[in-house]
Amino acid sequence: MRQLTEEETRVVFEKLAAYIGRNISYLVDNKENPHVFRLQKDRVYYVPDSVAKLATSVARPNLMSVGICLGKFTKTGKFRLHITALSILAQHAKYKIWIKQNGEMPFLYGNHVLKAHVGKMSDDIPEHAGVIVFSMHDAPLGFGVSARSTSEARNLPPTAIVAFRQADIGEYLRDEDTLFT
């Protein structure tokens, strides 16, 4: 487990900023409970500083996971967020979409968010911005990228896509064999 390089940190922060914007400072500048970003194999973890110091005594081959897995680096150097980062993204979300109960199951089975399933959404969502998808009971279900801005989405037909799904909590069941390996 090692610290991220300057280039890796930049790539991770750019991806996180797409979903939480300036709220990224809450992740970095938490004085009462400081956290750090660590890289184990190709995965990036968000770890309390005290736990990271303790984890240095464990050999790298024996350490499977520590903290919250934010995502992983691909072989081309790009960073992909995992569904395991949803708890952090939902706390500090900049743009949100709430879907009705009839749209929860289609979303959790891996489909995009349709206009007919949207219960409400943030007022100022631009096109191609990172959004967090919630149920109407404020339970985070996943995240994705907005297909249209809020003003454009109001005039769409019911079958039009409002947000492209990137990850949902159904992945815990669909990808349980490969999620943590």
Tell me the backbone φ, ψ of residue 78, rounded to 5 degrees.
-85, 160
Beta carbons of 51 and 37 less than 8 angstroms apart: no
Residue 180 lies in a domain: no
Residues 133-153, mean pLDDT to the nearest whole number: 95
DSSP E strands in the chain: the ranges are: 2-3, 35-40, 43-48, 68-73, 79-81, 96-99, 113-114, 118-121, 130-135, 140-146, 161-168
Tokens 């297909």, residue?
Answer: 147
81: domain CATH number is: 3.10.450.220
- Which of 53-57, 115-119, 133-137 is least confident? 53-57
Reported as a pLDDT band with limits 50, 70 and 90, residue 146 is: very high
Residues 66 and 112 reside in one and the same domain = no
Last residue of a domain, one of 65, 88, 111: 88
What's the total number of domains in the chain? 2
Residues 78 and 42 reside in one and the same domain = yes
Residues 25 and 81 reside in one and the same domain = yes
The pLDDT of residue 20: 93
pLDDT at 28 over 70: yes
pLDDT at 52 over 80: yes
For the entire predicted model, the pTM comes to 0.89
pLDDT at 141 over 90: yes
Please give the Cα distance from 98 to 96 (Å, whole number): 7
Please give the Cα distance from 63 to 99 (Å, whole number): 38
